[in-house]
Every structure is written in structure tokens, then in C-alpha cells.
Amino acid sequence: MDYRKIKFEDEFEAEDEICAVCGNEAMSRVGYNEKEDLLKFECPECGAIFIEDGERKTTMVKGKKRDWCKYLTENLSLPFGAVVTEISDEELFGAGDPGPIRYKDKLTVISVDFEEDLYGVLVSVKKGRKKYAYPLIDLEPTDKQSANAKLLNNYGAWFSCQ
């Protein structure tokens, strides 16, 4: 279907969604076509445009999937302080063994390493003098007003929708 030829001029309820490209939580409904039962969404941050049909199947018509490792490597200010907000080490070390990193530990993020299906983007962190790989999704920057905080918030929103 050629979505460029469809007019999205019917009335609709304004509602924000999470952008499937950049994780922005303010992707807006910008149009509706009642005859085709199609909603049009546009992200003000990355410019991506999505069309959603009546069965909630979404098609991206502008934009491309983000390589989060590359994007975060290019845009995060490293190193930065972070706090552990979730703990997943018991899965690695066994029940009852929290491993070397614990909930609310303060760490320093030193690099973005790679992406893994289950845990998402893994980063290198330092705790004291030791270095570990840790899921970025389980960390929160200590400076909540920084550009890093916005990047991590967007990444977290995107990751939670996957």
C-alpha cells in the first residue's frame, strides 16, 4: 500500500506513543484515515513516521532502525557515573549469589561494548579498580539533568517496547 497517497484528515484522539526508532516518549498521532482505519504517528525527535492499521500492525514509512551500540558510542559522554537500578547477576552467578555488582552500587561507565539479545546494550563499568560488563538498561546516570540521562531514558523506553 502506498501510504503517501492516503489522506489522514479524519478526527482522532491525540495520544502519545514511544518511538520504535529513538525511544522518544512523545511520538504523536498526527492523522487518521477512517475509511482505511489507519493512524499516522510522527516522532518530533528523529522524524520517523509510522502508520498503524486497525489491527495495531505498525509500518515505518520514514526513518530506519537505530543501531543503539553505534548511536550510544557516538553520543554518550564517557566516562559517566551510574547507579545500579536492577540486579541480574543471580542469573549469572546462581541463586543466592548476587555477584560483584549489587543494587544501588555506584559505578563508572567507561565504554559501550556490544548488543546482546536478552540484555540489550552491554557497557564496560568500573567498580573500584575492577572492570565488568553490565547491561545498560539496568543503570541510571547519577546526573539526572545530563544529556546522558536523556539518551538513557530514550534507550530504556525503546528497550522496554521490544
Domain boundaries, the chain: 3-62, 68-160
**What pLDDT is recorded for position 16?**
86
| Amino acid in the structure at residue 60 | M
- Helix (H), strand (E) counts: the chain: 3, 10
Q: Tens digit of pLDDT for each residue in 98-139?
A: 578 888 999 999 999 998 888 899 999 999 999 999 999 999
3-class DSSP assignment, residue 133 = strand
pLDDT at 44 over 80: yes
Is 80 exceeded by the pLDDT of residue 40? yes
Half-sphere exposure of residue 28: CA atoms within 13 angstroms, side-chain side: 6
pLDDT, position 34: 95
Which grid cell sits at 91? 542469573
Query: How does pLDDT run across 46-100, given as a tens digit for each residue?
Result: 999 999 999 999 999 999 999 999 999 999 999 999 999 987 655 555 556 657 8
Q: What average pLDDT score do residues 135-148 get?
A: 96
Written as one letter, the residue type at 140 is E
- What is the predicted pLDDT for the residue at 89? 55
**Residue 92, pLDDT score:** 55
* 41, 27 contact by CB (below 8 A): yes
Mean pLDDT confidence for 13-23:
90
Model pLDDT, residue 96: 62
Q: What is the pLDDT of residue 71?
A: 96
User: Using omega within 30 degrees of 0 as the cis cutoff, is the peptide bond preceding 44 cis?
Assistant: no
Closest CA to 61 of 73, 47, 72, 79: 47
Q: CATH code for 68-160?
A: 2.30.30.530
